[in-house]
Amino acid sequence: MKEPLLLDGREVSKSIKGQLKGTIDSLTKEGIVPKLVTILVGDNPSSHTYVQMKANACSKIGMESERIFLPTETTTEELLQTIRQLNEDETVHGILLQHPVPSHIDERQAFDTIALEKDVDGVTSHGFGSTAFQLNAYPCCTPAAIMEMIDFYNIDVEGKHAVVIGRSPILGKPVSMMLLNRNATVTISHSRTENLEQMVSQADIVVAAVGKPKFVKGEWLKEGAVVLDAGYNKGNIGDCDYETCYNRASAITPVPGGVGPVTIATLLRNTVLAAQQKAMMREVSHT
């Protein structure tokens, strides 16, 4: 049995962050410190961990960040107010509304209230459309992370059959568009898909984005499939059953240490790009 290639997200993340340092330094010298604001509504403990990790990553690389915590009872209108204030705040370059929000809140409306130039998480409808049409937009962070993994390890996408499991607005749907834009043949499967196992067994590339721990079993996979696990379930457990998938895959992302760390790196990069864009606009207006 040939061992699969381990797609090491910490390595990829390090490489992305390394490329950002110079830009952050020169922006800081110009008096612009890239700043990310995260908004967390409610008290989901894993969401708390994620926004903490994002803040830590910012401070470690020399960026600023702020975390806003809103109570579970927050109304959609109150959340929109918070977002609008951040849109107006000149010191803020990126806004991330942590998904999911409590069910009484209109998440789509909240996402779409984020100013396009601050949508570093690629969650607005406009951001999605621009990604799909390959126009200028900050890509959604986890989908972008998956594509970074593919590129870093030179995984062949063109003409391959990619089966995406999951169709969420910030993961399954956008990553499907990105893979399509790279000339993969994409099947988007989800909770209502019939014969899912059979579908997965035809995949050259499997992207697991369902949010069900150890859902994808090694037996489902075609021998030599590439497995990209974007799951982040409680206890740091991915959507793939790692042990059995490991035995069938030609390449696989571990959880932890796979897509997760790269997601944070792509978020930092989008925020730095937003700050850089802002600096450029400032220069233009001064000339």
Ligand X SMILES: Nc1nc(=O)c2c([nH]1)NC[C@@H]1CN(c3ccc(C(=O)N[C@@H](CCC(=O)O)C(=O)O)cc3)C=[N+]21
- Which two three-digit tokens encode residue 69? 């915590």
Angstrom distances, CA of residue 17 to CA of 40, 58, 185, 271: 24, 10, 31, 12
- Determine the residue with CB nearest ligand X: 260
Residues binding ligand X: number (CB under 6 A): 22
Q: Which of 119, 121, 229, 239 is catalytic?
A: 121
State how far the Cα of 178 lies from the Cα of 193, in Å rounded to an integer: 21
Residue 130 annotated as binding site? no
214 is catalytic: no
- Which two three-digit tokens encode residue 37? 């604001």
**Could you give the 3-state DSSP secondary structure of residue 229?**
strand
Residue 260 annotated as binding site? no
220 sits near ligand X (criterion: CB under 6 A)? no
128 sits near ligand X (criterion: CB under 6 A)? no
Per CB under 6 A, the list member of 62, 102, 169, 256 interacting with ligand X is: 256
Amino acid at 241: D
98 is catalytic: yes
Per CB under 6 A, the list member of 12, 141, 207, 265 interacting with ligand X is: 141
Q: Are the beta carbons of 123 and 140 closer than 8 angstroms?
A: yes
232 sits near ligand X (criterion: CB under 6 A)? yes
Residue 166 annotated as binding site? yes
In the complex, what is the shortest distance from the CB of residue 18 to ligand X, in angstroms, rounded to a whole number? Answer: 17
Of the two residues 186 and 255, which places its CB atom closer to ligand X in the complex? 255
52 is catalytic: no
138 sits near ligand X (criterion: CB under 6 A)? no
**Could you give the 3-state DSSP secondary structure of residue 216?**
strand
257 sits near ligand X (criterion: CB under 6 A)? yes
- Which two three-digit tokens encode residue 234? 């409680």
State how far the Cα of 188 lies from the Cα of 162, in Å rounded to an integer: 8
Q: Which of 17, 54, 160, 278 is catalytic?
A: 54
Per-residue b/e over 188-225, b at no fewer than 16 CB within 10 Å?
bbeeebeebeebbbebbbbbbbbbebbbbebebbbeeb
Binding residues: 166-168
Binding residues for NADP(+): 166-168
Catalytic residues: 54, 98, 121
Residues that bind ligand X (CB under 6 A): 49-50, 53, 96-99, 121, 123, 141-142, 170, 232, 236, 255-258, 260-261, 263-264
